[in-house]
Structure 1
Amino acid sequence: MLDIQHISKRIAFKSILEDIHFTLQTGRSLAVVGESGSGKSTLARIIMGLERPTSGRILFNGVPAPERKTAEFKSWYQQIQFVFQNTAASLDPRMTIFQSIEEPLCHLTKLRKNDRKVLVHEYAAKVGLPQPLLSSVPSHLSGGQYQRACIAKALIVRPKLLVCDEIVSNLDVIHQHTIIELLQSLQAEQQLSLLFITHDLSLVPSLCEDVLVMKDGRMVELIQSALLNSSQHPYTASLLGAVKLLGQHWHH
């Protein structure tokens, strides 16, 4: 499905990513983990077509990522949606939550107004957003509600892949787990593939089957999340150690 073929990225002779390669199959979930500066978000932006790799290429169902803003971009964004780390910039502050969730339908589909309205209400219900909030502006929402609205906006065009970049890092632990559970149920319901980018390994086992560990723009290892505890790599072990040091529960 998503085929990352030897992606490298350099900016002014500095290597940001070096030879990243993996395949994400339909309906599966992969976590990309590593400290800040490991290249995780750059990789996500390249997958979304927001940045170009220096070398290598990305295929989605055999089709290469579009290089210019052409009609191919429309098809790409219908299939691959992104929920950003900086959620405060994800929704237009001047638009109601209803308008924000509806926006991708206006740009990427030819649905009539009434059909769009039905879908907005359906997806608000799916992510647990109370109907009265749809007439609010983003500044009136809590952090958890804002993140739910962003997820509804991303999933309303029924993409095949959802890329989540640190989407729970600004939330407290209770809201983090609520969003993780929401993603789990939506993934099962929509046969969604999930690329979940995080620096927090404690969130991974309940959501993702596989884990790509990154350090300084390079792949450290690609491992099943159930086998993380037995990883022989010292960097993966140090990330796990940090999770346990913080007293977070490790489930697998």
Structure 2
Amino acid sequence: MLEIDEISKTIGTKTVLDRITLSISSGASLAIVGESGSGKSTLARIVMALERPTSGVIRFNGIAAPHKKTSDFKDWYRQIQFVFQNTTASLDPRMTIAQSLEEPLTGFTGMGKNERKERIAEYAEKVGLPPHLLAERPGRLSGGQYQRACIAKALVVKPKLLICDEIVSNLDLLHQHQIIELLHTLKIEQQLSLLFITHDLSLLAGLCEEIAVLKEGQLVERFASSAIHASGHHPYTQSLLNAARSLGRRASE
């Protein structure tokens, strides 16, 4: 489904991404893990066609990512949706939650008003957002509720691939795990492919089948999530695992 083929990105003299090759099949999930500055968010923006690579190509179902804002962009964004790290920029503070969820339906589908209303109610229920909050503006929502609304907005058009960029990093541990469980459920229900970007390996148990580790723009390792606790990982991967275990111990104390 998604092919990331020899993607490189150079900004000035700095190599942000160096010949990254990855793929995600239909209904599968891949986590991209690394510290800040590893290039993982840049790679996500390139997949979304929000940035252009210096070299290489992104393909989705065999079609290359569009480079100009034509009708191809609309189809690309209809199939690939994104939940940003900075969720406060995702919902217009002047709109109600219902209006924000209706916006992509108006832009990407030919649904009538009643159909849109039904779809909004359906996805509010799917993400666990109480119906009365649809009439509220984003500022009235808690962090967890806001994130659920962002996920609903991304999924309401029924994309094939969802990209999540550090979407739980600003939440406490309880809400982090609630959102992870929600994504796992929605992935199965909608046969959704998932590209999950994080610096925290402890979040990935049961969510992603595979893990790719980036360090300073280079792919240092890719492995099945079932092998996360196996021996023989790259030293950088092992340092991330050790950090996740240390944080987990502190949280449980």
Q: Specify the SS of the correspondent of 2:229.
A: helix
- 2:246 and 2:142 map into 1 onto residues whose CA distance is 29
Residues 1:89 and 1:248: Cα distance change in structure 2 (over 3 Å): farther
Q: Which residue of 2 aligns with 1:123?
A: 123
Q: Which residue of 2 aligns with 1:221?
A: 221
Contact kept in structure 2, 1:5 and 1:20, CA below 8 Å:
yes
Q: Which amino acid aligns with 1:217?
A: G
Contact kept in structure 2, 1:202 and 1:248, CA below 8 Å:
no
Q: Which residue of 2 aligns with 1:244?
A: 245
1:165 maps onto 2:186 in alignment = no
Query: Which has the larger displacement, 222-231 or 9-18?
Result: 222-231
- 2:7 and 2:202 map into 1 onto residues whose CA distance is 27
- 1:116 and 1:248 map into 2 onto residues whose CA distance is 46
Q: Specify the SS of the correspondent of 2:248.
A: coil
What is the Cα-based RMSD across aligned positions, in Å?
Answer: 1.0
Give the superposition deviation at 1:238. Answer: 0.7
Q: Which residue of 1 aligns with 2:75?
A: 75
Q: Which residue of 1 aligns with 2:34?
A: 34
1:12-52 C-alpha deviation (Å, 9 max, x unpaired): 12111001101100001100000010001000000001000
- 1:87 and 1:162 map into 2 onto residues whose CA distance is 15
Give the superposition deviation at 1:247. Answer: 2.6
Give the superposition deviation at 1:248. Answer: 5.0
Q: Which residue of 1 aligns with 2:111?
A: 111
Identity %: 64
Q: Specify the SS of the correspondent of 2:124.
A: helix
Q: Which residue of 2 aligns with 1:234?
A: 235
Pairing of 1:48-197 with structure 2 (within 5 A): 48-197=48-197
1:125-149 C-alpha deviation (Å, 9 max, x unpaired): 0000001100100000000000000
- 1:181 and 1:205 map into 2 onto residues whose CA distance is 10
The answer for unaligned runs of 5 or more in structure 2 is none
Contact kept in structure 2, 1:164 and 1:195, CA below 8 Å:
yes
The answer for unaligned runs of 5 or more in structure 1 is none
Q: Which residue of 2 aligns with 1:201?
A: 201
Q: TM-score, normalised by structure 2?
A: 0.97
- 1:112 and 1:93 map into 2 onto residues whose CA distance is 25
Q: Which amino acid aligns with 2:236?
A: Y
Give the superposition deviation at 1:232. Answer: 2.7
- 1:124 and 1:22 map into 2 onto residues whose CA distance is 33
Q: Which amino acid aligns with 1:144?
A: G
Q: Specify the SS of the correspondent of 1:205.
A: coil
- 1:20 and 1:207 map into 2 onto residues whose CA distance is 22
Which consecutive aligned stretches of 4+ in structure 1 deviate over 6 angstroms post-superposition?
Answer: none
Q: Which amino acid aligns with 1:241?
A: N
- 1:248 and 1:107 map into 2 onto residues whose CA distance is 46
Question: How many aligned residue pairs are there?
Answer: 249
Q: TM-score, normalised by structure 1?
A: 0.97
1:157-196 C-alpha deviation (Å, 9 max, x unpaired): 0000000000000000000010001001100000000000
- 2:248 and 2:147 map into 1 onto residues whose CA distance is 25
Contact kept in structure 2, 1:123 and 1:152, CA below 8 Å:
yes
Q: Which amino acid aligns with 1:114?
A: N
Contact kept in structure 2, 1:201 and 1:239, CA below 8 Å:
yes
Q: Specify the SS of the correspondent of 2:20.
A: strand
Q: Specify the SS of the correspondent of 2:35.
A: coil
Q: Specify the SS of the correspondent of 2:3.
A: strand
